[in-house]
Amino acid sequence: MSVHSDEVIVKVEGVSKRFGAINALTNVSLSIRKGEIIGLAGHNGAGKSVLTKIMGGIYIPDEGKIFYGGQEVKLTSPKDAQERGFFVVPQELNLARQLSVADNIFIGQKEYANRLTGIVNKRYINDESRKLLKQYFNIDVDPSTPAGELDTVTQRIVQVVRCLRAGAKVIVFDETTAGLSQMEREKLFDHIRILSQKGLGIIFITHMISEIMDICHTVSALRGGEVIGTEKVENLTPAKVIEMIVGSEDHVFSSEKSSPKSHTLLSVKNLSTRDGRISNVNFDLRKGEILGIYGLRDQGQTLLLELIYGAAKRSSGDFEMDQEKLNIKSPIDALRKGISYLPERGLKSVFATKSIRENMLVQGLNFLKKGTPNHKKMDDKSIDESIRRINTRGYSSLENRITNLSGGNRQKILLARTMLLDPKVLMLLEPTQGIDIGAKNEIRQLILQAAKEDKAVIMATAEIDDIVGVCNRVAIIKEGKIKTIMDATEENRDRILEASS
């Protein structure tokens, strides 16, 4: 790893940012030097994205100062930061889908159109785009293709090319390696190294330790919105990095796992989709068992769960519950058979402008029959009791909007709502994503509790701690296939990590 210069390009000092009741960042300071590749490590929700968004002019800090080239600046928009050379390649692909690749690279910039007439320099931007994509990434893309038609990897590359072309001095790569194959990742890293040699500062946000060790000069660990430490990577080992991120032993989750019964509750056979994004998946699920699905991002985890839930179309495959064949064509069928699904945090699970009560009751209203014991549990007093029992905090009445609660508390409510139906099989997608460590552990405990009550749980997650701490077995998923299923023990941690990459 080459040594970088000492000249600081961008610096933040004492930056703090609050969102409502949540302290996203507290007194954070960070410097990026010319040619330095600095890794920002930390759990989801630690504040990595928020920090770079403040540096990039997307958020305005409540306290603290930002310095560009030694001078204090006040950024009011992304354009301010971009004009100073600070670019963010965001986690969520955000291209104009119907516009061409060339448009996405050049629009909003001086060179996009003739200064006098305003006519777009179509030939120029097409030729240049083609050249740049070839030059930087050695790929051939027709620059007039609408961006939405490209695969996710190429879309990301287009975003990067836009930054480079616009004269970036600092580029933030926010979880950019998601979905990339080993070879593509290596290529990306080669380009990042070249950029670093050219004097660009790179901020590399990732939660994968291996990537930090591979490409970063320095690593800054964030936890709970605070910088725990900044160290040269050459002075660190992977274990030390993990320690920086995770912190003290108190936070490590250790609880007795459930003991699965021998009775097979759910059987999945020969599950495939027509386009092959899932092919030939087989597994059994026992009563009281927690099965983890682990893999890199976009390997088919979401699709797998949605197929079982009836929210996606399968081309082949059988489901059997208690030896009875299931015909699931929609979530309604699944719920009637006792299969519940909690999607990842966000738009698929939460009714943002509605109250806690309304979010709690949406499934119960439709699926609990009058006269059953659970149906009686839908009055205010029972709901309140049940969510307090799982330590939900931050609300004064069930009328409060659910968005007033923190992520962790919200997730507890969604979990409680799923449990209200007393499902036989519980499927969860990234149940602890983006939540602070305290709430994470509480949710893990709740999931274990469900298994101990003889429910069967399938949990797809990218958090290795979820797998090792909670699951009995783990299925490694890669490119839509289950590579292997092994015991989810602490001893197997490295094997699990290896098998998935």
> How far apart are CB 107 and another protein at their closest, in Å?
5
Distances (CA, A) of 319 to 181, 265, 271, 332: 31, 10, 9, 15
Per-residue exposure over 290-326, b if at least 16 CB sit within 10 Å of its own CB, e if not: bbbbbbbebbbbbbbbbbbbbbeebeebebebeeeeb
Among 91, 280, 363, 391, binds another protein (CB under 8 A): 363
> How far apart are CB 330 and another protein at their closest, in Å?
7
Told to check if 312 binds another protein by CB under 8 A, we report: yes
- The strand pair at 201-206 and 37-41 is best described as parallel
State the Cα angle at 245 between 63 and 220, rounded to 5°: 55
Choose the stretch contacting another protein; rule: CB under 8 A; options: 112-120, 179-187, 263-271, 279-287: 112-120
> How far apart are CB 412 and another protein at their closest, in Å?
17
> How far apart are CB 251 and another protein at their closest, in Å?
31
Sign of torsion over alpha carbons 403, 408, 409, 413: positive
Amino acid occupying residue 285: L
* Nearest CB to another protein, comparing residues 179 and 364: 364
Alpha helices in 227-379 (DSSP H): 238-246, 301-309, 331-336, 356-367, 373-376
- Count CB neighbours of 214 within 10 A: 16
Told to check if 354 binds another protein by CB under 8 A, we report: yes
Helix (H) or strand (E) holding 468: helix 464-470
> How far apart are CB 315 and another protein at their closest, in Å?
12
Tokens of 341: 């699904």
> How far apart are CB 46 and another protein at their closest, in Å?
23
Distance, CA of 29 to CA of 183 (rounded, Å): 35
Bridge partners (DSSP) listed for residue 429: 460
Count of residues that bind another protein according to CB under 8 A: 60
> How far apart are CB 172 and another protein at their closest, in Å?
13
> How far apart are CB 365 and another protein at their closest, in Å?
6
Give the x-and-dash track for 364-383 against another protein (CB under 8 A): xxxx----------xx----
Contacts to another protein from residues 52-91, by CB under 8 A:
58, 77-79, 82
Among 306, 430, 436, 463, binds another protein (CB under 8 A): 306
Told to check if 277 binds another protein by CB under 8 A, we report: no
* Nearest CB to another protein, comparing residues 223 and 357: 357
346 CB-near residues (< 8 Å, 6+ apart):
none
Told to check if 348 binds another protein by CB under 8 A, we report: yes
Contacts to another protein from residues 142-181, by CB under 8 A:
148
Choose the stretch contacting another protein; rule: CB under 8 A; options: 190-198, 292-300, 324-332, 487-495: 324-332
Are residues 39 and 212 in contact, defined by beta-carbon separation less than 8 angstroms? Answer: yes
- For 126-170, the three-class secondary structure string (H helix, E strand, C coil) is HHHHHHHHHHHHCCCCCCCCEHHHCCHHHHHHHHHHHHHHCCCCE
* Nearest CB to another protein, comparing residues 208 and 311: 311
Told to check if 400 binds another protein by CB under 8 A, we report: no
Among 8, 22, 73, 113, binds another protein (CB under 8 A): 113
Among 3, 21, 116, 119, binds another protein (CB under 8 A): 119
* Nearest CB to another protein, comparing residues 228 and 303: 303
Told to check if 239 binds another protein by CB under 8 A, we report: no
Bridge partners (DSSP) listed for residue 460: 293, 429
Choose the stretch contacting another protein; rule: CB under 8 A; options: 231-239, 351-359, 436-444, 455-463: 351-359
Told to check if 335 binds another protein by CB under 8 A, we report: yes
Choose the stretch contacting another protein; rule: CB under 8 A; options: 3-11, 187-195, 333-341, 403-411: 333-341
- Count CB neighbours of 222 within 10 A: 25
Are residues 12 and 64 in contact, defined by beta-carbon separation less than 8 angstroms? Answer: yes
- The strand pair at 290-294 and 456-461 is best described as parallel
What does DSSP assign to residue 401?
B
> How far apart are CB 404 and another protein at their closest, in Å?
15
- Count CB neighbours of 84 within 10 A: 21
Least Cα distance to 153 among 89, 206, 86 occurs for 89
* Nearest CB to another protein, comparing residues 335 and 415: 335
The site for another protein (CB under 8 A) is made up of 58, 77-79, 82, 94-99, 103-104, 107-109, 112-113, 117-120, 122, 148, 306, 309-313, 329-332, 334-335, 341, 343, 347-355, 357-358, 361-367, 378-379, 398-399
